[in-house]
Amino acid sequence: AAMSRKGMKLLVDSLTRSAKHFNKSEVECLVKLFDTLVAKACREYAGAGFDRTVFRDTLHSALGMMDEVVLDRVFSIFDGDNDGCITVVEWVEGLAVLLRGTLEEKMKLCFTVYDLNGDGYISKEEMFQMLKNSLLIQPADEEPDEGVKDLVEIALKKMASTCLFVAFLLQDHDHDGKLSFTDFEKAVRDENLLLEAFGPCLPDIK
């Protein structure tokens, strides 16, 4: 889409401010990249943005992210207004978190990715969905899903341990089997490796 020089400058300025983690020239590059992607996409959105497929392919080829479920989730997070189309603002701000985000922002991103139904908790079922393909070797003599279920329990125990204990003290059984954002945050602060506990959703920066 052709944009006046002045319009471009304004856009870049405002994005640099809102996306925080990029400097002007970086924002400019990203906007240019956005333009090429839009050009590649079908004309459905009339140049305002691009769709899921383009997004997925781009993230896959540029950042090496592979998991389809995760990519879908990341797309929905980028697509703040849920219209199936990534605009330039959504693009730059989304990437800012994905590439340069603080631990805080990344935790939020990951949690949202894992919270498949968006109810504010990661439930056992959601964990199961995320982890179901994670066992390369199935224990021979067990039910096929048994291993994954076990792993879900382990993860839940690991990440919700303190809160479960509090819940136990308060006789609060509602907490059972779910992971709130507080749990998640605490666990990750304790052990950064757990940021992507249920599957890779951030690009590997190497």
Among 81, 141, 174, 204, binds other proteins (CB under 8 A): 204
Question: Which CB contacts under 8 angstroms, 24+ apart, belong to 158-162?
Answer: 158/187, 158/194, 159/183, 159/184, 159/187, 159/194, 159/197, 160/187, 162/186
Q: Which is nearer to other proteins, 176 or 190 (CB)?
A: 190
Q: Does 203 bind other proteins (CB under 8 A)?
A: no
- The string of DSSP letters for 3-49 reads --HHHHHHHHHHHHHHH-SS-HHHHHHHHHHHHHHHHHS-GGGTTS-
Exposure b/e, 17-32, CB count within 10 A at least 16 = b: eebebbeeebbbebbe
List the one residue from 32, 40, 157, 189 that touches other proteins (CB under 8 A). 157
Our finding on whether 175 is near other proteins (CB under 8 A) is: no
Kindly tell me which of 36 and 133 has the beta carbon lying closer to other proteins. 133
What is the rounded CA–CA span in Å between residue 199 and residue 197? 6
Residues 45-84 that bind other proteins (CB under 8 A): 56-57, 60-61, 64, 66, 68, 71
- Which residue, 25 or 162, is less far from other proteins as judged by CB? 162
**Spatial distance between the Cα atoms of 163 and 192, rounded to a whole number of angstroms:** 18
User: Taking CB under 8 A as the rule, which mask of x and - marks residues 117-156 in contact with other proteins?
Assistant: -------------xx-xxxxxxx-------x--xx--xx-
CB of 13 to other proteins, least distance (A): 31
Residue ranges in contact with other proteins by CB under 8 A = 56-57, 60-61, 64, 66, 68, 71, 130-131, 133-139, 147, 150-151, 154-155, 157-158, 161, 191, 193-194, 196-200, 204, 206
